[in-house]
Structure 1
Amino acid sequence: MFFLPAIHRHPEFRNGMRATASVAPGIAAWGLMTGVAMVKSGMSVVEAVAMTLFVYAGSAQLAAIPLIVAGAPFWVIWATGFCVNLRFVVFSLHLREYLMHLPRWRRLVNGFLTADLSYALFTNRFPEPADDAPGRHAQESYLAGNYFLTWMAWNGASLLGIALANLIPSEWGLGFAGVLCLVGVLCSLANTRLRILAALIAGGAAVAAYALPLKMNIVAAIAIAVIACFWLEGRRPAPPREKMA
């Protein structure tokens, strides 16, 4: 019988981590924002830490926080989290063919730790499930490396946000968490030179037009960045065409 290396020693584990490294800063920013939001909404540190470790679902956490603070019935909180996370049912159905050969406890672990980006990167890397044991082992190793870095980025940043939340002035409120949320989006999307330039143009325009009423500086910044990027995109040299044989 052939020998299969441990999941974390397989080369695909490192490949999975490398694939996630580019989006890890955005994931961490979302986690930091969620940690701050939980404490600033009135949850105790113990409650916030428990929610971070046991729920591990940013969108569901953010949806449930105001309901918990408002004293909503348990079934309302549960139903909200269920609806927000329905997409994972679709993910699980798709991953079933990849993981069904594993023992139940390993399927549960993989299911709990697989997040949105983990699923997207994994299925892009492996469009079809492997049909032999080494191939299936390689696919699980890639998925594990992928969600390992995601889990570390999310929970590490979320716990840091919980620890630092009480140091943030109360008058900043959840607005500060919202800023962190937007930073997370920015870090996730600013992955090309043109997108980074668009962010810089929009930021500069928003500051320059700050005096406009009704926060119209935001609208102006978006318009200026879009026009500038369309102009720059049109000035790019066309890729060389392959010569016909």
Structure 2
Amino acid sequence: MNAPEPAQAATLTEEHDPALWREGLRTGLPTLFGIAAWGLVVGVAMVKSGLTAFQACGMTLLVFAGSAQLASLPLILAHAPVWVIFATGLVVNLRFVIFSALLAPHFAHLPWRQRLLYGYISGDMTVAIFLQRFPTAAPVPGKLSYLKGLVLPNWAAWQAGSLTGIFLGSAVPAEWGLGFAGTLAILCITVPLIANHAALCGVLVAGAVAVLANGLPYKLGLLAAVFAGMLSAMAVEGLIEKRKARHV
């Protein structure tokens, strides 16, 4: 049987499928509370860090990356050089380069504006869930509908939580312990992504380095932790692949 032509593959992928849209929504639904909670914490943190409501709204709508937003806030307060702030955000979000490479074969046929839009509203959990449902780039009717069912509610939950945190942040008592709530929220997002030994090693190494390098200026310990975690995960993944190759 011949493979579908590119135009036919595009039609199959873009074909609207309400059933797959609902499936994507149902699959991603359990993560929305954690996403909203994490957005709430980031919204409060932005206001508590001295940003105006307008600035905080602009940041959450344009950046849409909680870890990068939180990493940049202490640097902004410390009047760190702009290149340090941008470099921190870039390194913290390097994982999205990998996500983009994984999603590209599925949607390379779409116009660049659509790809830009779906890239912007995609998040960690939504990409992981989508790739579990569609592990190969084979054309499947309604594949884009499934992605929309994941990413649109995820984006809306984040923005709702973040905007709520921004406008209510000044009224939230410090004794509510939102820092601890934020830790729990990000753990809820991170733990399901630890799918293999390489990822687990990366998380453990990054956590250890972050603690040990906590005293570095400009929060550069975070950069060191990200690099150490990535390199260790890649090293473990390489060792696992070599071991598999020897047993083939």
Give the TM-score of the pair, scaled to structure 2: 0.67
Larger radius of gyration: 1
Deviation of the 1:180 alpha carbon? 2.1
Contact 2:43-2:165 at 8 Å conserved across structures: yes
Distance 1:70 1:49 in 2: 21
- State whether structure 2 residue 185 is matched by structure 1 residue 184: yes
Contact 1:40-1:165 at 8 Å conserved across structures: yes
Cα distance per residue 1:74-94 (max 9 Å; x no partner): 111111000000001111111
3-state SS of paired residue (1:102): coil
Distance 1:23 1:185 in 2: 11
Cα distance per residue 1:169-222 (max 9 Å; x no partner): 4xx28x83312213424665999xxxxxxxxxxxxxxxxxxxxxxxxxxxxxxx
- Out of 143, 146, 153, the residue aligned to residue 150 of structure 2 is 146
3-state SS of paired residue (1:23): helix
Deviation of the 1:10 alpha carbon? 2.6
Unpaired segments ≥5 residues, structure 2: 1-6, 193-248
Indicate the residue corresponding to 1:235 in structure 2. Answer: none
One-letter identity of the residue aligned with 1:184: A
Indicate the residue corresponding to 1:119 in structure 2. Answer: 127
Distance 1:183 1:163 in 2: 22
Deviation of the 1:7 alpha carbon? 7.3
Distance 2:107 2:137 in 1: 9
Contact 2:17-2:142 at 8 Å conserved across structures: no
Aligned length: 184
Unpaired segments ≥5 residues, structure 1: 192-245
- Out of 157, 163, 171, the residue aligned to residue 167 of structure 1 is 171
3-state SS of paired residue (2:142): helix
Give the TM-score of the pair, scaled to structure 1: 0.68
1:71-220 mapped onto 2 (5 Å cutoff): 71-131=79-139, 135=140, 138-169=142-173, 172=174, 176-185=177-186
Aligned residues with identical type, % of pairs? 45
Evaluate the alpha carbon distance shift between residue 114 and residue 188 of structure 1 in structure 2; reply closer, same or farther with a 3 A threshold. Answer: closer
Deviation of the 1:45 alpha carbon? 0.6
Evaluate the alpha carbon distance shift between residue 188 and residue 60 of structure 1 in structure 2; reply closer, same or farther with a 3 A threshold. Answer: closer
Indicate the residue corresponding to 1:53 in structure 2. Answer: 61
Distance 2:72 2:164 in 1: 20
Cα distance per residue 1:75-119 (max 9 Å; x no partner): 111110000000011111111100101011011111111100010
Evaluate the alpha carbon distance shift between residue 117 and residue 7 of structure 1 in structure 2; reply closer, same or farther with a 3 A threshold. Answer: farther
Distance 1:186 1:41 in 2: 23
Indicate the residue corresponding to 1:28 in structure 2. Answer: 36
